[in-house]
Structure 1
Amino acid sequence: MASGQRTYLDHNATSPLRPEVAEVVLRALQLPGNASSVHAEGRAARAEIEHAREKVARLVGARAKNVVFTSGGTEAANLVLAPGFRRLGQGGVTKLLVGAAEHPCVLNGHRFAPDTVDIIPVDSRGILDLAWLEAHLEKGGDERVLVSIQLANNETGVLQPVAEAARLVHAYGGLIHTDAVQATGKIPVDIAGLGIDVLTLSAHKIGGPKGIGALILASDQFEIAEKLIRGGGQEKGFRAGTENVAAIAGFGAAAELALASLEQEAGRLGALRAEAEAQVRRIAPDVLVVASAAERLPNTFAFAIPGLKAETALIAFDLAGVALSSGSACSSGKVKRSHVLDAMGVEPALAEGVLRVSLGWSTTHEDVIRFAEACERVVDTLYKRKASAA
């Protein structure tokens, strides 16, 4: 490996900013106007926002008027997962059901009282238990239920049966939210095709700027009674505050690029992931590839080599010039046991060693080769040495 050369395989945490997006952001940063002002400078800023809104809407098959920009996927989820989310003319929801493997922004970020929340279990592949969900909905009586199910898991890449869940939820008069942060830009996402009521996105997972996301409604027939940020009437009253024009413009540019290359990138990344998995199996035949029997995102795989601890292995890979993750990157940089793996019933000793490889727009075949070389060195130094000393 050339001196200073790095291999970045942590796109599920943050995908590097695309050069084309950086150009758009820089141009938008130089606009002087406030998007709420009526003069020409203000109208120019407003035009940037509305053009970006159209591009983000197209990425998920939505209408631009139903896109609400936020500071990221976490704020978007916090905003909508509240008792005051409802269809116009109806009462708010009284019960929240969330998948056991959801992102912490859902599990910890909702605004429901603890005694009004139930957790939907997942099986050993990490897939939601639809039978449990149907049984719970059936016995719910007069409860007005909101269900939150991610489209793809950020740690394992496992895809969830969201469309099937949506049909169940609506059959019992409930509402359904989908965290589509990890899936969007990697697989086709269509809000109408999924049959959901609302989804949430984040730009930095698709090569856009950090600190910008969106809440996207299936129609304009929904409201949120309890706003998180109150003040002016920006974002159709859903979120007050002067809009981050540059970040929003960058989000739009990233969404446009992701949509244009979606099919090609899915095939390319799927082939690279398959090669990376094969290399790990060659190097460590006793490796566990998490959820290998489930349908997963084409860019993601998580693995554990018995006897290796994630924290030690991450440092070793980093020193070898390869950036990986042990799971979610939303825990203040801490390496800790994953609630996702616990929900799947992964043996604790193995769960403590799980590493995640996540590929993206900047990943090349050479990156996979360098990852395999680093993996071989890590196994030789940390694993085989330990085995010989036993």
Structure 2
Amino acid sequence: METIYLDHAATSPMHPEVISEMAKIMSEIYGNPSSIHTVGRKARKVLDDARSVLARAIGAKDNEIILTSGGTEADNAAIFGTAYALKAKGKHIITTKIEHHAVMHACEKLEKEGFEVTYLSVDHTGRISMDEFKNALRDDTILVTMMYGNNEVGTTQPIHEIGEILKDHQATFHTDAVQAFGIEKLDVNALNVDLLSVSSHKLNGPKGIGFLYQRTGIPLIPTSFGGSQEKKRRAGTENVPSAVGFAKAVEIAQQEIESKQAKFKQYRQLFIEELNKENISFEVNGNVENTLQHVLNISFKGMEVESFLVNLDMAGVYASSGSACTAGSIDPSHVLVAMFGRDAEELRNSIRFSFGLGLSEDLVIEAAKRTCEIVKRLAN
């Protein structure tokens, strides 16, 4: 039985060209980029070249890119770094109820330290209200942190519109673009964002590396201490092979963005068509117009997520839910709770399928067929 991986929003397989590039660097470039001798300068050269690729991908300058260990560190650096840098101007932060835990838990930590956080609601499609945002914005707001596109349901937020409003406000604007980078065309200047977080492993690069974009002139207090790497903004010897692999993955992703969007949109349609053909009772969770095409979150009437995931796994279809399963109990997805309420059936019957490298139309159709068989067998 051929297995079908439909969990690319969780992590993606590394592209063969990325693996090849990293293997070459690991065998040939071993110097510390901070060393001034020839071996160190060779490492510095490939690191600088990689940084340039990352910067160009979002319309930034090279020195505006801070390499991190991934999206979580980038989010934390943005939120804590901004809060501590601007606390003399105010202690109010705006975010949403559907952020990744790297943002949610950081904001919760700041609340314990005396900061005030407004968590914006979302509608049943996962999108915020601009009126609610405008009403929440205050003179003492110092940070707005909002994800570009949701990792569970794919809904995108009006980042450009919020950026326009914040142009003449003291608040720093941060967006977690981890799920969108490599899928959507991102330009920090067009979006009017001050800080932007991304991660390599979501776009067929290595795990353990990401970056935080910091617009020139935006204050940020470092959250790690040690050496003077990353222009004294993030201590620690740089991971040169991973930076090179990340840059290679970004180069490939940038060349394929439009074709991937069209392909993933087709995959969504094929999957949904197969469910309709088999008369499966379901609803797509998320926003039809404003969405990341590679994320498809579906609520299946009469299904229970735990047994559903186990049966999908046994059928060779690897997907996920928005729930964290621990010790036989389920902690409902905070994203679905925000969208539908704590008692909604969507919390118990929703599965996320996400598309990426290595898939084909035939494989997507086959995955949908196997899903239909399970639903017909298990649905109440």
Q: TM-score, normalised by structure 2?
A: 0.93
Secondary structure of 1:69 counterpart: strand
The residue identity in structure 2 corresponding to 1:46 is R
Question: Could you tell me which residue of structure 1 aligns to residue 236 of structure 2?
Answer: 241
After superposition, where does 1:122-201 map in structure 2 within 5 Å? 122-137=122-137, 140-141=138-139, 143-201=140-198
Question: Could you tell me which residue of structure 2 aligns to residue 79 of structure 1?
Answer: 77
The residue identity in structure 2 corresponding to 1:361 is L
Question: Could you tell me which residue of structure 2 aligns to residue 70 of structure 1?
Answer: 68
Task: Say which is worse superposed, 283-292 or 55-64, in terms of deviation.
Answer: 283-292
Question: Could you tell me which residue of structure 1 aligns to residue 40 of structure 2?
Answer: 42
- Preserved contact between residue 340 and residue 346 of structure 2 (Cα < 8 Å): no
Percent sequence identity over matched residues? 33
Question: Could you tell me which residue of structure 2 aligns to residue 58 of structure 1?
Answer: 56
Secondary structure of 2:23 counterpart: helix
Aligned counterparts of 1:311 and 1:235: Cα–Cα separation in 2: 44
**CA drift at 1:330:** 11
Question: Could you tell me which residue of structure 1 aligns to residue 301 of structure 2?
Answer: 306
- Preserved contact between residue 323 and residue 332 of structure 2 (Cα < 8 Å): no
User: Mind listing any 5+ residue stretches in structure 1 that lack a counterpart?
Assistant: none
Q: Deviations over 1:13-68 (max 9, x none)?
A: 00110000011111222222111111111111111211111111122121111000
Aligned counterparts of 2:328 and 2:351: Cα–Cα separation in 1: 14
The residue identity in structure 2 corresponding to 1:51 is D
Change (3 A) 1:281 1:335: farther
Is structure 2 residue 323 aligned with structure 1 residue 351?
no
Q: TM-score, normalised by structure 1?
A: 0.90
1:365 to 361, 366, 370: 361
**CA drift at 1:223:** 2.8
Change (3 A) 1:334 1:269: farther
**CA drift at 1:331:** 9.1
Aligned length: 375
Aligned counterparts of 2:314 and 2:175: Cα–Cα separation in 1: 37
Question: Could you tell me which residue of structure 2 aligns to residue 289 of structure 1?
Answer: 284
Task: Say which is worse superposed, 202-211 or 93-102, in terms of deviation.
Answer: 93-102
- Preserved contact between residue 300 and residue 359 of structure 1 (Cα < 8 Å): yes
After superposition, where does 1:269-348 map in structure 2 within 5 Å? 269-327=264-322, 336-345=331-340, 348=344
Q: How large is the RMSD of aligned CA atoms in angstroms?
A: 2.3
Question: Could you tell me which residue of structure 2 aligns to residue 22 of structure 1?
Answer: 19
User: Mind listing any 5+ residue stretches in structure 2 that lack a counterpart?
Assistant: none
Secondary structure of 2:63 counterpart: helix
Aligned counterparts of 2:324 and 2:38: Cα–Cα separation in 1: 41
Q: Deviations over 1:332-367 (max 9, x none)?
A: 998531111111125522221110011012221122
